[in-house]
């Protein structure tokens, strides 16, 4: 069982690779590969899409790798393989992003990526640092992770789902900010599990064992 972490030039994937390799070894989940090769993605059993920076930049970066998004979509949507989007990798599952300009997303989970606008003007944007999760919808990838557990965030925009049932968790930051989304074989975290210590490693282990 191979897990493919997609490398499309969006950030340093070293910490994510090490965290997934550690938990794959602990759970017996098989090899973890960092790749931009569509054939490797097509052959993988699970797909992880990280992303840092601006929505439009990540979308354009992914499109710059010939055949890569097609391979991801074939594996995940047609093939039903477990998918984990991290940060902007989660956001790109939306219909569109509204960061600087309107950019079309994957359209896998209905909703939009919108600016964080805290009700308290003392709260700064980007939302950066540790925050307490609130679990909205129980999910196998969140097994053993409860309301009050902490995760690490760095972002200025968040995924506002059209269907509340697709929001798996949120945090409070002058209002409710989406922390995780889920539908069918799709799961996404706004926070960085590879930087979220116990909570993050637990989530990665859950994902590697998940059979949607």
Catalytic residues: 87, 192, 194
- Asked if 17 and 52 count as a contact pair (C-beta separation under 8 A), the reply is no
Q: Would you say 141 and 187 are in contact if contact means Cβ atoms under 8 Å apart? A: yes
Question: In angstroms, rounded to a whole number, what is the distance separating the alpha carbons of residues 162 and 109?
Answer: 8
3-state secondary structure of 195: helix
As to burial, measured by CB atoms within 10 angstroms (0-12 exposed, 13-18 middle, 19+ buried), residue 100 is: exposed
Residue 73, both tokens = 């979509």
* H or E segment and range at residue 33: strand 32-35
User: Could you tell me if residue 13 is left (phi over 0), alpha (psi between -120 and 50 degrees) or otherwise beta?
Assistant: alpha
Q: Does 20 sit behind a cis peptide bond, omega within 30 degrees of 0 on the bond before it?
A: no
């Amino acid at each position: 069982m191979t897990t493919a972490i997609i490398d499309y030039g969006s950030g340093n994937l070293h910490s994510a690779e090490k965290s997934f390799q550690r938990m794959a070894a602990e759970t017996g989940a098989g090899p973890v590969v960092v790749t931009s090769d569509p054939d490797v993605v097509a052959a993988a059993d699970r797909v992880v899409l990280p992303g840092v920076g601006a929505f439009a930049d990540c979308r354009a970066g992914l499109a710059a790798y010939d055949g890569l998004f097609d391979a991801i979509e074939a594996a995940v949507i047609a093939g039903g393989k477990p998918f984990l989007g991290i940060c902007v990798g989660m956001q790109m599952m939306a219909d569109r992003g509204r960061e600087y300009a309107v950019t079309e997303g994957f359209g896998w989970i209905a909703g939009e990526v919108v600016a964080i606008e805290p009700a308290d003007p003392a709260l700064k944007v980007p939302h950066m640092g540790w925050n307490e999760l609130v679990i909205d919808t129980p999910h196998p990838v969140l097994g053993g992770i409860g309301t009050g557990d902490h995760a690490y965030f760095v972002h200025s925009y968040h995924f506002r789902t059209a269907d509340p049932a697709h929001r798996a968790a949120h945090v409070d930051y002058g209002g409710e900010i989406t922390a995780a989304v889920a539908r069918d074989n799709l799961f996404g975290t706004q926070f960085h599990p590879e930087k979220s210590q116990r909570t993050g490693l637990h989530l990665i282990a859950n994902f590697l064992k998940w059979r949607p």
